[in-house]
Amino acid sequence: MKKISLLLFICLVSGAVLSAEEMSAEQWLQYNETVTTMFEELADAVRNGEEPPIKCATPILNALISSQPKGVDSKAAYYEREDTMSYTYSTNHFLLHYTGTGANRIYQFDVQDSMAGVPNYIFEAGKICDSVWEHTVGDLGYPPPISDGYYNGGGNGLLDIYFVHFPAYGATVRDSVQATIPLTMTTYMFIENDYEGFPGYEMNRLNALRVSLAHEFFHTVQFGIDASELEGSSPDFNPAWIEMSAVFMEEEHYDDIDDYINYLLYFYDVPQWSIRTGTVLGSPTINYWRNLHMYASVIFPIFLAERYGSVIVRDIWEGCGEVSGPNWWLAADDAIKSRSGDTSDLKSEFQEFALWNLFTKHRFKSGDYFPEAINYDTVNLAARIIDYPTTVALGDSITPDNLGANYIMLENVDLMSLGIKIEFEPETADSWGITLVGMQDDIGQPVVVEHIDYDTVTSVIQIPDAADFDKIALILSVLGGNAKQVGYSLTVSTMGDGVLRPNAGDTVDAGREFVIRWSLVDAGDSVKIEFSDDNGATWSNVVNSTANNGQYPWPVPNIESDFCLIRISDVENPGIMVQNEGVFSISATGLIFGEPFPNPAWIQNDELITFPVNYQSSDRGQIDWSVTILTLAGEMVQRIEGRGVELTINDTRVSAHQWDYTNEGGELVAAGPYLAVIKFKDEKQIKKFVVLR
């Protein structure tokens, strides 16, 4: 079925939204025939489970309509009303058209025990339609769709819905253009006739119907407020706000179905893309990443609703209806100012929105941010920094657009006792927001957040207490303008010169390798490292000359001392020198995290998997410990904690921590690789192991 996507790509490129002046009658008729054929083939492929369905065909069909040259009087099967339907069923506000024969045969046509002569599926659809109308128009205060009763031959003015064999969940089609400013239109709807092959809805077709009707009905409302809310121009018109707010209405009506979560990957994997990014009809497939991004951007109106209530989406649409042409982001700015009493605006809310998007999946915080975020995808990092100093260089595809963000994770910051200095230099004068989030690694512990806002570009940011955290997330948001791929340079270094590790007060294990870390900016390419175990009275060489790259793996001597120092100096100019601000200790109390065994572990054969810790200690009390089991994606599986079962083997003691392969719900886990975060005393290690079934 790959041929379908490719041909659809060809036909869309050839003139998806070309104006009538740009397309001849012959070109348009060929284009219309190709789209019709491809939709028919794609509808069959979806029904057979060979291709994913289109989320909403509204942009595609209305592009076809808008490109039809004047004087071409030809019906297009995929946007003309289905006048051949055998049956109709009317509700308070809708007229449902359906048939019991052919490809358009309604789901379970012969099951008609809810109302005589009416299939249960249609009867339930009618109830859903009126419920959606009443909540949207009656409860939320949106204007009803424009009635078409005045021009369609004396009809009753009910909103028409045609149930057809369709490659999409649904579509809303413009009908009669109204002479209003801004432009408005009457509409009718297509809805899939049985949702056969639509993933996730095999056991509940009505749930697919519910989200589709909520989505498409809101399009009819939008067309009655402002049908010109499309950014861009031919051939890349952009219905981003139209589609993300329609998906929002799915959640507003049916927050237990959560269809929107299926699309969030297409936002969280490319957070650098603007939330104003919409359909690119000349893309490789109709379900191309960028086409789906606008549905995933529903997370933005969901955020606004969490902050101000769902009424703010109506506020934005009312603002759209005051101006011809696209202006939804300006209307959003006005709505936020009004709802916040002029204490906030779009720029500050987008910066807060970017922060919320950090706390999803394994970073989920109960009671804060998005309430369903544990089910969301994890935001993609633009860069991960583990050594300092460093300069971040990102490709154009990674740098953010306006109303997009980069996420950069600074790791090992607990080593940065001198603090961190961040030098940020943007390439343009676009407005930026910079948020710094201090985080702890301890799974299950509260995340410590430091939220620092910058209303203007700040070239140097200093974090003197960086070592209080295990990592720091740096969120860079472009808060204004229309620019794409806004570049910048970013350098992260220490705030001064000094020995970073071991730090004053640290304890280092004797006989093990320890990485010495330092910052000595004014030194040359090579430094000398020395060690003292008597508070500087005498010194011995660790290494006579090594690269001044800020780190050196040191085999710790097999001694005990509480009066240790490290000194680092320039090989050529010994006067350029740093040493610890205070003494550290070397202890012969060895601590070794053993390997999980058995590994791999067979659930059927091995009752438990063991995580041993070997240590030497004169302390005979039991030691607190914990083991946290995670998936490779960082999702919590199980947490075990308590006091170790200790065995003495000569001078070495063994603490055995064991797990029975169950998750927090008491169910056996699936086969696959896992991580164990083992904490013992004040240290921890991460071990990888495999479970087989």
pLDDT in tens, 370-382: 999 999 999 999 9
How confident is residue 151, by pLDDT bands cut at 50, 70 and 90? low
pLDDT top residue among 57 and 277: 57
Average pLDDT of the segment spanning 351-367: 89
Mean pLDDT value across residues 397-404: 92
Mean pLDDT over 336-360 rounds to 95
pLDDT for the residue numbered 277: 83
Q: Which residue has the higher pLDDT, 503 or 297?
A: 297
What does pLDDT average to over the chain? 84
466, pLDDT greater than 60: yes
Give 349's pLDDT tier (boundaries 50, 70, 90).
very high
Given pLDDT bands bounded at 50, 70 and 90, which one contains residue 656? low
Convert 275-335 into a string of H (helix), E (strand) and C (coil).
CCCCCCCCCCCCCCHHHHHHHHCCHHHHHHHHHHCCHHHHHHHHHHCCCCCCCHHHHHHHH
Q: For residue 19, what pLDDT is reported?
A: 40
Residue 601 has pLDDT above 60, yes or no: yes
Distance of CA 572 to the CA centre of its chain: 51
Q: What is the mean pLDDT of residues 612-616?
A: 70
Q: Which residue has the higher pLDDT, 217 or 364?
A: 217
More confident residue, 453 or 311: 311
514-546 per-position pLDDT tens digit = 889 888 988 999 999 999 999 999 999 999 999
The arithmetic mean of pLDDT across residues 327-354, rounded, is 95
**Confidence tier at 651 by pLDDT (50, 70, 90):** very low
What is d(CA 652, CA 650) in angstroms, rounded to the nearest whole number? 6
The least confident of 50-54, 343-347, 550-554, 590-594 is 590-594
**Residue located via tokens 């951007």:** 297
Query: Is the pLDDT assigned to residue 652 strictly greater than 80?
Result: no
> pLDDT band at residue 12, thresholds of 50, 70 and 90?
very low
Cβ atoms of 20 and 27 within 8 Å: the answer is: no
Instruction: Give all domains of the chain, ordered by start, each with its CATH number.
Output: 236-344 (no CATH), 361-488 (2.60.120), 498-587 (2.60.40.10), 591-692 (2.60.40.4070)
**Residue whose C-alpha is closest to residue 613's, from 575, 658, 665, 565:** 658
Q: How many CB atoms lie within 10 A of CB 647?
A: 12
**53 cis-preceded (ω within 30 degrees of 0):** no
CB 413 within 8 A of CB 470: yes
Question: Looking at residue 288, what is its pLDDT?
Answer: 52
Residue 648: band (very low, low, confident or very high) from pLDDT cuts 50, 70, 90: very low
pLDDT at 338: 97
The answer to whether residue 415 scores a pLDDT higher than 90 is no
**What would the mean pLDDT of 2-20 be, rounded to a whole number?**
38
Residue 457: per-residue pLDDT: 56
How far apart are the C-alpha atoms of 298 and 275, rounded to whole Å?
9
Least confident of 289-298, 442-451, 502-511, 544-553: 442-451
User: Is residue 474 pLDDT above 70, yes or no?
Assistant: yes
In the predicted structure, residue 29 carries a pLDDT above the cut 80: yes
Residues 619-632: what's their mean pLDDT? 71
- What are the helix and strand counts (H, E) for the chain? 12, 31
| Whether the Cβ atoms of residue 228 and residue 265 lie closer than 8 Å to each other | no
Summarize pLDDT for 62-79 with one digit per residue, the tens.
Answer: 877 877 787 776 655 566
Instruction: Check pLDDT > 80 for residue 649.
Output: no
Comparing CA positions, the residue from 70, 2, 72, 85 lying closest to residue 33 is 72
pLDDT above 90 (res 616): no
Based on its alpha-carbon atoms, the radius of gyration of the chain, rounded to whole angstroms, reads 32
393 vs 83, residue with greater confidence: 393
Answer with the residue of higher pLDDT: 614 or 10: 614
**pLDDT (average), residues 649-677:** 79
Q: How far apart are CA 281 and CA 16, in angstroms?
A: 7
pLDDT for 76: 55
| pLDDT higher than threshold 80 for residue 366 | no
| DSSP β-bridge partners for residue 642 | 625
The answer to whether the beta carbons of residues 438 and 475 sit under 8 Å apart is no
* Amino acid (one-letter) located at 513: E
The pLDDT value recorded for residue 443 is 55
SS (H, E, C) 380-415: CCCEEECCCCEEECCCCCCCCCCCCEEEEEEECHHH
Determine the average pLDDT of the residues in 12-30: 58
Q: Going along 403-487, which residue ranges are E strands?
A: 405-411, 420-426, 432-439, 460-463, 471-478
Q: Across residues 426-449, what is the average pLDDT?
A: 75
> Which of 109-113, 454-458, 479-483 shows the highest mean pLDDT?
109-113
Does the pLDDT at position 358 exceed 60? yes
pLDDT at 644 over 90: no
> Residue 562: pLDDT above 60?
yes
Distance, in Å, from the CA atom of 173 to the CA atom of 157, rounded to the nearest integer, reads 16
The reported pLDDT for the residue numbered 282 is 43
> What confidence category does residue 310 fall into, taking pLDDT thresholds of 50, 70 and 90?
very high
Q: What is the pLDDT of residue 94?
A: 96
| Beta strands per DSSP E along 30-85 | none
Give the whole-number percent of the chain exceeding pLDDT 70: 85
Alpha-carbon span 37 to 498, nearest angstrom: 71
Highest mean pLDDT among 271-275, 390-394, 441-445: 271-275
| 86 pLDDT higher than 60 | yes
> With 70 as the cut, is the pLDDT of residue 18 above it?
no
Q: How confident is the model at residue 678 (pLDDT cuts 50, 70, 90)?
A: confident
Q: What is the mean pLDDT of residues 336-347?
A: 96
Summarised one tens digit per residue, pLDDT across range 662-674 is: 998 889 998 888 8
**DSSP for residue 380:** P
Say what angle helices 311-320 and 205-225 make with each other, to 10 degrees: 40
Residues 252, 243: Cα–Cα separation, whole Å: 14
Determine the average pLDDT of the residues in 299-307.
Answer: 97
Average pLDDT over residues 472-493: 88
pTM of the prediction? 0.77
- Rounded mean pLDDT, 421-430: 84
Model confidence at 640: pLDDT above 90:
no
